[in-house]
Each structure stands twice: as C-alpha cells, then as structure tokens.
Structure 1
Amino acid sequence: MMIGNSTFSYFVLGGYMQVGSLRYLYFVLTAVTYMSNVVSNTCVIVVICMTRSLHEPMYLFLCSLFINELYGGVAFFPFLLLHILSDIHTVPIPFCFLQIFCLYSYVNVEFLNLAAMAYDRYVAICCPLQYHTHMTTSKVLISIFVLWLYSFAKVLVTVFLNIQLTRCRNIMDEVYCKNYSVVNLACSDTTVNNIYGLFSTVITILVPLLPILFSYMKILLVCFSGSKETRQKAISTCAPQLASLLNFSFACFIHILQSRMVVSGFPEVLQIFLSLYHMIIQPILNPLMFGLQISTIRNACKNLFCHNKQHTDLM
C-alpha cells in the first residue's frame, strides 16, 4: 500500500517501549480518566439540553465545548488503551492521518470556542442592553458551525500536505500520531509542510487570542469601574473560562515545545504524561470547573437529578 509515495503501510510507535510491567496500572488509570471524561461531559451536555432556562448563548457555546471534549477523547483514548495492552505498536497510515486530523481539529475548536465564549461574556457584561440583539440563538449556532468548519478545513490542509510526502522511515518515538513527528519521517522536501505548520500554529493561537485579550481587557475595565455586584457576576462567569484557557494554553505550549525540542533530564514517563496533558486534563477540568463554578448549571443539575430521584422513589 502506498500513500504519498511511501512504501510503508504502517507507522511504528516507539513510545510504548517503556510501559513494561506497569501496563495494567497505566491501562486502569487511562480507562478511569476516559470514563471520567465521558461521564462528566455527557452529564453537563444532558443538563444543558434538558433545562429550558439554559438554552441561551453562553450555554450553547459550553455545549459545543463539551461535545469537543468527547470528540477529542474518542480519537485519543480507545487508541491509547488498545496500545497499552498490545505487544505490537503499529498503526496503519490512513488511521494515523485520521487521528492527526481529529486531534488537531480538536485543539483548533477548543481555542476558537473559548474565544467565542470570551466575546459572549464581553457583550453580556459590557453591552448588556445590546446582548439579546447581538447574541441571538441563530447567530450563535452559525458561529459554532463556522468555527468547527474552519477548524476542519485548516487541519485538512495540514493532513493533505503530509500525505504527499515520501517517507523513508516509519518509526517515531511517540504514543500517538503527531503531525510534526510524521513529517520528520520524510526523506523528501518538507519546506512547504514546515512553513504551513508554523503558519497554522501561529494562526491557531493568534486568531482566538486577539478577541480573548480584547474581551477580558474590556471586562476588567468594567469590573474596576462597576459595582461590587457587577464584579462578582463577572468573576463568577469569567473565572472558569480564564482557568480553562490558561490550562489549555500551557498544555499546548508544552506539546509544541516537546515536539520541536529534545527535552532531556526528565523521566520518560513524565515526558509522555506532559505530551498527553492537553488530551487528559482539559476534558475533565472543563465540566468540573464550569459545572461547579456557574451557579445556574449547579442548580440545574440538582433540580434535574433530584427530580428524577424523587420520581423514581414515588414509583
């Protein structure tokens, strides 16, 4: 089978060589993490969908964010669990490119979704009288569709450029498929891939970062000049978004740093964990932060599940 003038039909993932006798421990920890991801994100999505009072722009963006966490998890965790237990760590080339597409589009959607949520809070706090005019349900749904479509299109170009390369090697020291690592296996000219990869990375960060900085600067100005009640409202709704943004930005920075630099002096297990940080911590952190911090979601959870429990007891 030949893809992009390559004589290989699979890639070998060398990052699993250190798993050894601890594979069952890693498997259990990974399985528990994945189940936590699925349960927590699904739970909040169900609460938002079933609570009519939460059918507002901010919660629609949140729903998109939690769906993205499930999307990234499906592309990552089952693959990881399978290889932890397996003695053969090969992955077919088409599946490797599919995983790259899913994981990198997940990262793009995450950043853009956080940017859209920051703008939503800016309009709600700084221009409250115009909020229902600017942030209608139809506009919010269109913006969610556009940010997902844009992310898919941008990453599709990355994958297409990678497919065209001729590869003379097929072994990479990773536990999942990374675009930069796959490009480094090529023995053909990778100038276009490197330029587009750098451009794509900068755009992935800058496009959402500008509206985020603008939104929160305006929100801070309102907080300092507003009443105590205004400050409390702004903090309660913006704190989870800022925490999520900072955590994901840090995780992606570590991921980029590890992909492009040789990091020595750290245990290999720690290096692997840091490379997986953005896929492991963020999907669990988001529903916990938003669910616990935003009172409307907390109350909706209590009302929904307490009502279901009471209904079951009556039966």
Structure 2
Amino acid sequence: MSNNSLTPSYFQFTVFADYGPLRYLFFSLSLLIYVTIISANAVIVLSVCLETSLHQPMYVFICSLCLNSLYGSTGFFPRFLVDLLSDTHFISRLFCFIQMYVTHTYLGYELNILTAMAYDRFTAICQPLHYCSKMMPRTVLLLLILAVLYSWCSIGYFFYLAITLPLCGNKLHRGFCNCWTIINLSCEDTTVIQMACQFVALTSILIPLIFVLYTYLRILLVCRRSSSEFRGKALQTCLPHIVTFGNYCISLVCEILLSRYNVNEVNPSVIVVLSLEFLIIPSIINPLVYGLNLPQIRGVMIGFLRPLE
C-alpha cells in the first residue's frame, strides 16, 4: 500500500443522509441550540466576572464550567452546521484532529472541573472553619491548572495514537472526528492499543468518580448529624452540582457505549443524536441549573437585564 493510502489527507463523515428540504429545518434547530448555548453560558460568565460579590471559589468553578461549554460547543457546532447544508461531508486531516482535540479535552475538562467543585463543596460543608484557608485564590487556580494538565496527560496518549497510526481508510461513522473511530481505521492489529486505551479511559473516569462519591458520602454523614436548616442550605448548594455531575455521567456513558458499539449496525440518525447529546445537554443544563437555582447568580443576572427593559 502506498504511503498516501496510509496517511489520508481527509476524512469523510458517513452518517449524514440526504435530508432534502428538511436539512434547512435541522440547520435552523441546530443553529438555535448553538446560539442558546452561547448566550446562556456567556451570561453566567459575565455575571461572575463583572460582579465582585461572586468572586468566590464556587462561582469561579461555575464560570470555568460555562467557559468549557463555550469551548466545546464552538469546536463542534460550526463544522456540524456546515455539514447539515453540504452535499459532501469531507474534512481535512488537520481540521479533523483539531476538532478531535477540542471535543476530547472538553470532556476531560468538564469531568475535572466537576471533581474540583465536589472538593469545594466538601470543604465548605465538612470543614467550614478551614474553608478560607484551604480554598484560597491560589488553591482555586492550582485546581483549575491541574484540571487542564490532567486532561492533557490522559488524552495525549489517544491523540498521539490517532496521529501516528497508519490508516487503511478514511470513512468516519460519526458526526464529528472521534479518536477511537480513527484508531479503528488502523491497518495494524490494535488489540493491545485498545486494551491500553480502555485502561487509561477507565482510570481517567473512575478516579474522579470515586472521589466525588466519597465527598458526597462525607457530606451526607455531616448533614445527618446537623439541623434541618443546615441540611436545607447544604442541599441548596449541592443540588446543582449533583444534577450537572449526574447528567454528565449519563452523557459520558452514552459516548463510551457508542464508541465501543459496532456503529455499522446502528441507524445513522441515532448515531448523530447520541453524538450530540454529550455536547448539547450539559452545555444547556449547566447555565440553567446554576442561573435559576442559585439566588446569588440569579440576582446578578436580573440586575444586568433590568436596564435592557
């Protein structure tokens, strides 16, 4: 096989069907979703950045979560909108790897930020007297930096394999560039690589998951011995995080199952919907949960919107 066949210069998405006039309806709905994600998350980010009373660890993490939603959706939707209107669905090797990097790091950042938020809630509820000393600005910054570095380390291995492995095809049965799908195009036996990838993926997910479950177990034990008023305040601050973390875990499970399943046997529309789920649902749920549930953010948002009336 020639060298060119081992390093395709482009990839082709095969899940986009000829929807005819319906393509404009799907394009409009997708554009509306994208604009909603950008607007909702931008409002939360501006509220936290411009209001000094929200310059606290919990709100800084919320702001980081919304910034990550802006990052992930922007790395996916522009290309997806083009594909909905296009008759051909080719993407260059460079842009495919850029999209793959953005979507995968988005997933990693999301999980790591949610883990850092669990530590913040654990410290605030279980160790309130030490909260100010433990959650200083430099500690928050360090946690955010570690969230980025941990994602780079865990995802870097997959990214390296996708770039260096010789490929015997260029057809991707997904709505976006996915590392696992590209690795499956390899001409070589990838059994060992797949086992290594599964190990790295499981450890990257299980370690944060176990830590979050541990923190909430400790929080439950503290709330059990506390007054009903204390339990109400704890629930008010923890409920948004529980909702977002649970929603993220469901999205992540859907993405992992889709990556491991034989996509040739799945309806293309189902693949597109499941592919969109982990990018759309968390990005919409996060600002709604935090913007509507937390009175501090809700009050600032209302204050910003009043001059526009």
SS of the residue corresponding to residue 12 of structure 1 reads strand
SS of the residue corresponding to residue 15 of structure 1 reads coil
The CA deviation at 1:12 is 0.7
Task: Report the identity percentage.
Answer: 37
Change (3 A) 1:297 1:17: same
Matches within 5 A, 1:100-111: 100-111=100-111
Q: Distance in 1 between matches of 2:232 and 2:119?
A: 18
Determine if the alignment matches structure 1 residue 161 to structure 2 residue 152. no
Amino acid at match of 2:206: L
Which stretch shows the higher mean deviation, 68-77 or 93-102? 93-102
Q: Distance in 1 between matches of 2:308 and 2:269?
A: 43
Amino acid at match of 1:285: I
Q: Which residue matches 1:313?
A: none
Amino acid at match of 1:304: F
Matches within 5 A, 1:1-315: 6-17=6-17, 19-262=19-262, 268-306=268-306, 308-309=307-308
Q: For the Cα contact (< 8 Å) 1:162–1:193, is it kept in 2?
A: no
Q: What number of residue pairs does the alignment pair up?
A: 308
Q: Distance in 2 between matches of 1:3 and 1:303?
A: 61
Q: What does the per-residue CA deviation read over 1:67-95, in whole Å, with 9 as the maximum and x for residues that have no partner?
A: 10011011101010011111110111121
Unaligned runs of 5+ residues in structure 1 are 311-315
SS of the residue corresponding to residue 6 of structure 2 reads coil
Q: Distance in 1 between matches of 2:16 and 2:145?
A: 37
Which stretch shows the higher mean deviation, 198-207 or 37-46? 198-207
Which stretch shows the higher mean deviation, 133-142 or 10-19? 10-19
Which stretch shows the higher mean deviation, 169-178 or 25-34? 169-178
CA RMSD of aligned residues (A): 2.0
The CA deviation at 1:214 is 1.1
The CA deviation at 1:213 is 0.7
Q: Distance in 2 between matches of 1:199 and 1:5?
A: 30
Change (3 A) 1:192 1:298: same
Q: For the Cα contact (< 8 Å) 1:158–1:193, is it kept in 2?
A: no
Amino acid at match of 2:239: A
Q: Distance in 2 between matches of 1:225 and 1:166?
A: 59
Q: Distance in 2 between matches of 1:279 and 1:251?
A: 8
Q: Distance in 2 between matches of 1:3 and 1:131?
A: 58
Taking structure 2 as the reference length, the TM-score comes to 0.94
The CA deviation at 1:266 is 7.1
SS of the residue corresponding to residue 91 of structure 1 reads strand
Unaligned runs of 5+ residues in structure 2 are none
